[in-house]
Each structure stands twice: as structure tokens, then as C-alpha cells.
Structure 1
Amino acid sequence: MDLANFLIQLLNSVQYGLLLFMLAAGLTLIFGIMGVVNLAHGSFYMLGAYTAWSLSSQLGSLALAIVLGTVLAIVFGLLLERLLFRHFYARDHLDQVLLTFGLIYIFEEMRSLIWGDDVHGTRVPALLSDSIPLTDTLSYPVYRLFISGVCIALAIGLYLLISKTRLGMKIRAGAFNRDMAEALGINIRRLYAIVFALGVALAAIAGMIASPISSVYPNMGSQVLIMAFVVVVIGGIGSVRGAMIAALLVGLVDTFGKVLLPAMSGMLVYVLMAAVLLWKPEGLFKQ
């Protein structure tokens, strides 16, 4: 592999890893802080992708579609938490699994009724449609760099929110000891609603910005859900920092595995997960 091909694969792995982080960050917040096993998290990614395709086709602008889609995702998350998830916080994980597994089928049926079962493609904005030449024959799409930039900006914003703001202090307190946080006057129900809406929005944004490069198709959330769970397990349940490092590791292993060891590429990520769990059963970082 020459330097140009290595650079392309490295950029691809970083972009894929950052996109996985967007999914895993929302999942680890919901799972680690709220204690909810949410198998429907991949469906939020799918709904985000379909929303971006639909709105960009009507509005003629992917940027406007992403902004409007983010607002819709937050509202949808708040409604879903209030109507369903709020009643399952104290229930067994099996009940949560059954609820969220059922939601996968509901969301898929909603997608089929609203948008149909065809495969669609979201158009890359003209401003980001160029490529950066690396050699005489190889280039790298600007839009993939845009995806990485958006993910990095959101990761920094999420870090600042959790570690530097009063809301972040409440989130950390609720994750550490819910009863004590309630005794100190923190509205845990409102806090959980905010965390859940944030998790839904992150997954939806990931789907929206990825839609021009991955196409938009039925059941597209299933595969990314598995990878998001792998990232959460490797990074440590409830750790956003762990999710970032694990997502980049998974992106590197998956991307370079497909290039260097294509016959084994399907299992390399799970080998990585097994190795990390043998070394640190709680994941790379504790909550």
C-alpha cells in the first residue's frame, strides 16, 4: 500500500469512527446514565437519514434539512421519552429490551408507509461536491472531510456540555447516584428527558450527514446498531470519552481490515472487543 492509499484509508477510518461515535455517544448516554437498554437506537439513525433525504428533496438544501431534522429529532425524542420510556426506568432490562425491539418494527413500518421501500440517494451539496487531489489518479471527497468536521465539532460540544456546564454537572450527578441527586433538588425526570432527546438527536444527525455517502434504504439502522453497541462495550458503558476512543479504534480496525485482510474483516472488530474485555472487563474507561 503506497502513501496516498494509506492516507485515503486513514481518512476513511477516522470519518467512519467519528460517525460511529455520534451513534455510540447517544447510546452510552441513554444506557449508562438512564439504565435503559435501547435496541431501537439504530432506528433513529435510519429515521434521520430518511428525514434528510425527504426534506432536502423538498427544500433543495441539505443544510436546511439537517437543521430542521435536528429540531424534529429533539421533539420526537422528548415525546417518545414522555409517552413510553419514562414508564420503564424502574422495570427490568428484559422489559426494556422487549419495548425497544417492538419499536424497531413500528419504526420500520412507519418508514414503509411514509417513504416506501425503495433505495434513495441524498444529493451532496454543490459546495461540498469537489475532491482534493492526492496524486495524479487519487483524490478524496470534500464531503467526507465535512462529515469528520461536523462530528468533531459535536464531540467537542458534547464534552463541554457534560464537563463544563451546570446541566452537565446534573447529568453526572444523576448518573452517579439518582436518589442523592433527587434529594438535592435535581429534577431527574426532566434530566432524563433531556438526555434521551440528546441521544436521539445525535443518532439522527449521524444518519442525516451520512445519507449522501451511504444511500438511504430499509433496515439501514440494524448494522450500525451492532457496531454502536460494540463501541459502547469497548469504551465502557456510560463513558463518552471511552466511546470516542473505541469508535476510532473500531474505525481503524474495520477499514484497514477490509483492505489488508478481507477474508477476516467481518470478525476483526469482534476480536478487538474480545481482547479488550479480556484485558479490562469493564471496558477501556469506567463511567
Structure 2
Amino acid sequence: MDPAILLIQCLNAVQYGLLLFLVASGLTLIFGIMGIINLAHGSFYMIGAYMAFALQPLVAQYLGGGFVITVLVCVVLATVLGYFLEWAFYSYLYTREHLQQVLMTYGLILVFEELRSIIVGNDVHGVPVPSWLNGSVALGDVMTYPVYRLFISAVCILIALLMFWVLNRTRLGMMIRAGASNREMINSLGIDINRLFRIVFAIGVALAALAGAIAAPVSSVYPGMGNAVLIICFVVVVIGGIGSIKGAFLAAMLVGFVDTFGQVFFPAAAGVMVYLLMAAILLFKPEGLFKH
């Protein structure tokens, strides 16, 4: 393989893996810390992408901002949405069986899809790449690589570093880790575990929506786009270890490389290679790469 092509495929794998991490990190927080099987998590990715499409003209008209301001508005709105959903629906699921969690969160998928159809329609939409990122970097004499994809990778790395810092160096992170280990104990210490879980859920929704918003210019915006992302993100969470942010990061990168190079070298089997990777890892490490 030509070195320039190999470099491009590596960059694609890194960008895809980092984007998966952004979505999966929110899922592993909700799943591992709150104990909820949230099938609607992919819908939050879709909501972020549709908000980026729908809000960009409004942000430009009323706030005078461009794509970055639009993404920030999407994240704020997604955080508010997540906080409300946890209060209105998810807070009643902590003591329920997993089947009830699955049924309710699947019901939310149907609700979100219907609302999307009513508000925006069923057409495929595109989100333009910002003009200041609409360029390419030369790789060799012939090949180029889009600047916007590098921007996506940089944003994901920044968010990953911020998450590691929050979880390991702040009081909020200490409470989240303690609540994941023993929620009764931190309740007895006077910490409102319900409010803490509401914050965690809102963060998880915001991360998924952020991933959808920044991915919209390269993947387009279309009905059901969250479903495929949800499946692969569950694979990432299981491989990395439920509740482990570090595991989710490593697993997302592994999945990104296996999927990208699988499509290059083994296109006929690319669809199953990620699942073979999961099966091989779980065969030797049933709890995933890292325990929570």
C-alpha cells in the first residue's frame, strides 16, 4: 500500500474511533454508573445532527455566529434536554428490571423518530462545512486530506482530555466515581445522588449530541442515523468494560482501526470483523478490557 494512502486510512481510523468514543463515553457513563440500558442514546446523536442542520440559519440570523456557535447552542440545548429527560423518565428506572428499561427507552426512540419526521421531515439533508475549515492538507504529491476531519479529531481529543481531568481531578468526578461504586454510601454522606445522576445523564446526552453535530457535515443528516451508531457504541462499551472511560477510549480506537482497515483489505467480511474482535476480547476478558 502506498504510504500516503496508508496515512489517510490511519487518519480516517483515528477520526472514526474518536467520534465513536465521544458517543460511547456518554453511553458508558449512563450504563455503567446509573445502571440503565439506554437504547435511546443513538437518538441523542441524531438529535445533535438535526439541531446542527436546523439551527445553523437561525444562529447566523439572530446571534451572528457560524458553525462553532451553532454547535455550542446544540450542546447547551442537549444538556437541558438530558436533564429534563432524566427527571421526567429515567429517574423512575433505577429500581426497575432491565426489560422495563429496554421497553421504555425503545419507546423513546419511536417518539424521537416521529417528532423528527413531523418537525423536519424524512428527507436527507446536508450541513455545509465552515468556510474556514473547507480545505485540504497535502499528503504527498497527489493525495490530500480534509481539514474538517482533522478538526473533528482535535475536538474529540480535547473533550477526551477534559473528561479524564473532570473524572480524576475534580470534586464532581470524585462524586461520580463514588456514586458508581456505592450510591447508598454517598447518600449517607449528604450528597444528593438523584441530582448527581441527573447531571451525569445530561452530560451523556450532551456528548452524543456534540458527536452528531460535528459529524453532520461529513455524514449528512438522515432518518434513523442514530440506530447504527447505537449498535457499534454498545460494542465499544462492552469491549472497553462497562463504566470505564479509559476502556471506552481504547475500545473505540480498536474498533475504528478494525472497521476502517477491514473495509480496505477484507471488504466482503468488513461487516463482521468488529463483532469478531468483540468475541475474541470477551473470550479472554469477559468483563472487557478494563473493570469499572
TM tier, smaller: over 0.9
Whether 1:237 aligns to 2:253 is no
Deviations 1:236-283 (A, max 9, x none): 000000000000000000000000110110000000000000010000
Identity fraction in percent = 61
Aligned to 2:165: 160
Q: Post-superposition, which runs of at least 4 consecutive aligned residues in structure 1 deviate over 6 A?
A: none
How far apart are the structure 2 equivalents of 1:10 and 1:118? 32
Aligned to 1:186: 191
How far apart are the structure 2 equivalents of 1:264 and 1:58? 44
Deviations 1:142-195 (A, max 9, x none): 000000000000000011111100010000000001111111111100000000
Whether 1:46 aligns to 2:46 is yes
Aligned with residue 224 of structure 2, among 219, 240, 246: 219
How far apart are the structure 2 equivalents of 1:226 and 1:57? 32
How far apart are the structure 2 equivalents of 1:55 and 1:135? 38
Which amino acid in 1 is paired with 2:153?
Answer: S
Aligned with residue 197 of structure 1, among 189, 193, 202: 202
SS of 2:269's equivalent? helix
Q: CA deviation at 1:58?
A: 2.9
Aligned with residue 150 of structure 2, among 139, 145, 148: 145
How far apart are the structure 2 equivalents of 1:138 and 1:18? 23
SS of 1:262's equivalent? coil
How far apart are the structure 2 equivalents of 1:160 and 1:37? 26
Note the residue ranges of structure 2 that are not aligned, 5 or more in a row.
61-65
Q: CA deviation at 1:135?
A: 2.3
Deviations 1:55-103 (A, max 9, x none): 1133342111101111000000000000000111111111100000000
How far apart are the structure 1 equivalents of 2:57 and 2:246? 36
Q: CA deviation at 1:136?
A: 2.6
SS of 1:209's equivalent? helix
Aligned to 2:284: 279
How far apart are the structure 1 equivalents of 2:280 and 2:191? 39
SS of 1:18's equivalent? helix
How high is the TM-score relative to the length of structure 1? 0.99
Aligned with residue 106 of structure 1, among 90, 98, 111: 111
RMSD of Structure 2 on Structure 1 (CA): 0.6
SS of 1:121's equivalent? coil
How far apart are the structure 2 equivalents of 1:58 and 1:190? 32
Aligned to 1:19: 19
Aligned with residue 71 of structure 1, among 68, 76, 82: 76
How far apart are the structure 2 equivalents of 1:91 and 1:78? 20
Q: Aligned ranges for residues 121-140 of structure 1 at < 5 Å?
A: 121-140=126-145
Equivalenced residues, count: 287
Deviations 1:84-125 (A, max 9, x none): 001111111111000000000000000001100000000000
Q: Aligned ranges for residues 231-270 of structure 1 at < 5 Å?
A: 231-270=236-275
How far apart are the structure 1 equivalents of 2:54 and 2:142? 35
Aligned to 2:63: none
Which amino acid in 1 is paired with 2:33?
Answer: I
SS of 2:145's equivalent? strand
How far apart are the structure 1 equivalents of 2:101 and 2:139? 49
How far apart are the structure 1 equivalents of 2:172 and 2:137? 40
How far apart are the structure 2 equivalents of 1:31 and 1:59? 33
How far apart are the structure 2 equivalents of 1:57 and 1:274? 45
Which amino acid in 2 is paired with 1:27?
Answer: L
